[in-house]
Amino acid sequence: MRPAGEPAGLSHRTVLLDEAVDALVWRRDGRYVDGTFGRGGHSRLILSQLGPAGRLVAFDKDPAAIAEAGTVQDARFAIEHTSFADMGERMAARGEVPVAGVLLDLGISSPQIDEAARGFSFRFDGPLDMRMDTTRGETAAEWLATADEREIARVVRDYGEERFAVQIAKAIVARRREPAPSGPVATTADLAALVAQAVKTREKGQDPATRTFQAIRIHINQELADLERGLTAAYELLEQGGRLVVISFHSLEDRIVKRFMQAHARPQLADSSADLRRMPLRASELPQPTLRLLGRVKPGQQEVDANPRARSAIMRVAVKL
């Protein structure tokens, strides 16, 4: 693995580092977007592959990531403190369009998970925050203290694919009615314990709280809505021949990415029920593909052994026609 991609002293291991950058950078003088700077693994390696005329603009919601980006001393690099969903407007405002490639590395980073104060993990007791951008928006604790039972159940079911969503929602709402020192759920340990009591069975090796924590995090940060907006923005920014590279870590994300890429690679008529093979249409009248799929990549066993969090990663790559 090329050392230029990993900053010294950070515990975060960038997943599919070489594979992603190799797929993304197809010309050294291009303009590129790293939609999720994180701790800078991909960005640093991208910069090492660019020539003097190359350019990289990174995005991130996390103030800690923005601080880390400040250590990148390279005139070809710039950072934007916002979601990658806003890349279209921000890149246009910068006058840096179109772009040769966009990389999205979804999910959360190891430092975010491992810092108890961020509230992302049930493995560490801390305040139930879960915001990627800690400078704005409501925390998970604030949302759980006010959301109604039906909304909590919907979020846990839809974003966590949790079959005990109703029971979990009932337990969370019931907890709010308890007198001090109980009251609304406020810490990661509180929530994990509550979920463990409501979830009767779980897959071997998986903590009962895994799906619930994932679901609430996705909701608090509007991750799936941002992904849909970000994919559209990335597609519109790409020049002809530009690359779209997306690394996802769970099925909900990957499903959105897969469907988006396939919709542009195999476009259908407005009437989705039409069978194009039976219609008397000239080739020029058929919807034309605007993306070509370049493949799907998963981490090798050596990477998974070194970084178990890479196990669920799937990278999809497409080129704009």
What are the tens digits of pLDDT across the range 98-147?
Answer: 999 999 999 787 778 878 889 888 888 999 999 999 999 999 999 999 99
Q: Are residues 138 and 214 in the same domain?
A: yes
Q: Are 127 and 187 in contact (CB under 8 A)?
A: yes
- Name residue 43's amino acid: S
Supply 179's token pair.
Answer: 């007198």
Expressed as residue numbers, the domain containing 264 is 3-110+223-320
Q: Are residues 259 and 283 in the same domain?
A: yes
Strand bridging mode 99-105 / 238-248: parallel
Q: Which of 187, 206, 221 is the last residue of a domain?
A: 221
Q: Which of 99, 98, 93, 155 is nearest to 130 (CA)?
A: 155
Please spell the DSSP secondary structure of 236-255, one letter per residue.
Answer: HHEEEEEEEEEEE-SHHHHH
Q: Which of 113, 147, 145, 156 is nearest to 132 (CA)?
A: 113
Supply 117's token pair.
Answer: 């104060």
Q: Which residues pair with 243 in a beta bridge?
A: 101, 319
For residues 186-214, give the mean pLDDT. 90
What are the tens digits of pLDDT across the range 9-41?
Answer: 345 578 999 999 999 999 999 999 999 999 999
Q: Are residues 292 and 159 in the same domain?
A: no
Q: Are residues 227 and 281 in the same domain?
A: yes
Q: Are residues 74 and 90 in the same domain?
A: yes
Q: Which of 200, 221, 242 is the last residue of a domain?
A: 221
For residues 158 and 165, give the distance between their C-alpha atoms in angstroms, rounded to a whole number.
9
What are the tens digits of pLDDT across the range 293-317?
Answer: 999 999 999 999 998 888 999 999 9
pLDDT of residue 7: 44
Q: Are residues 229 and 93 in the same domain?
A: yes
Q: Are residues 184 and 241 in the same domain?
A: no
> What is this structure's pTM?
0.89
Helix then strand then coil, % of the chain, to nearest 5:
45, 15, 40
pLDDT of residue 277: 56
The CATH code of the domain that includes 189 is 1.10.150.170
For residues 295 and 316, give the distance between their C-alpha atoms in angstroms, rounded to a whole number.
6
pLDDT of residue 285: 61
Question: Average model confidence (pLDDT) for the chain?
Answer: 90
Q: Are residues 214 and 227 in the same domain?
A: no
pLDDT of residue 275: 56
In the chain, pLDDT over 90 holds for what percent of residues? 76
Q: Are residues 84 and 134 in the same domain?
A: no
Q: Are residues 69 and 154 in the same domain?
A: no
For the cut 70, the answer to whether the pLDDT of residue 57 exceeds it is: yes
Using alpha carbons only, what angle is made at residue 92 by residues 236 and 40, rounded to the nearest 5 degrees? Answer: 85
Q: Are residues 103 and 141 in the same domain?
A: no
User: Residue 271 CA to chain centroid, in angstroms?
Assistant: 32
pLDDT of residue 301: 95
Q: Which of 190, 221, 252 is the last residue of a domain?
A: 221
The CATH code of the domain that includes 75 is 3.40.50.150
Cis upstream peptide for 184 (omega within 30°):
no
Q: Are residues 199 and 263 in the same domain?
A: no
pLDDT band (50, 70, 90) for residue 5: very low
Long-range contacts of 114-121 (CB under 8 A, 24+ apart): 114/11, 116/188, 119/187, 119/188, 120/213, 120/217, 121/188, 121/213
pLDDT of residue 254: 97
Into how many domains does the chain fold?
Answer: 2
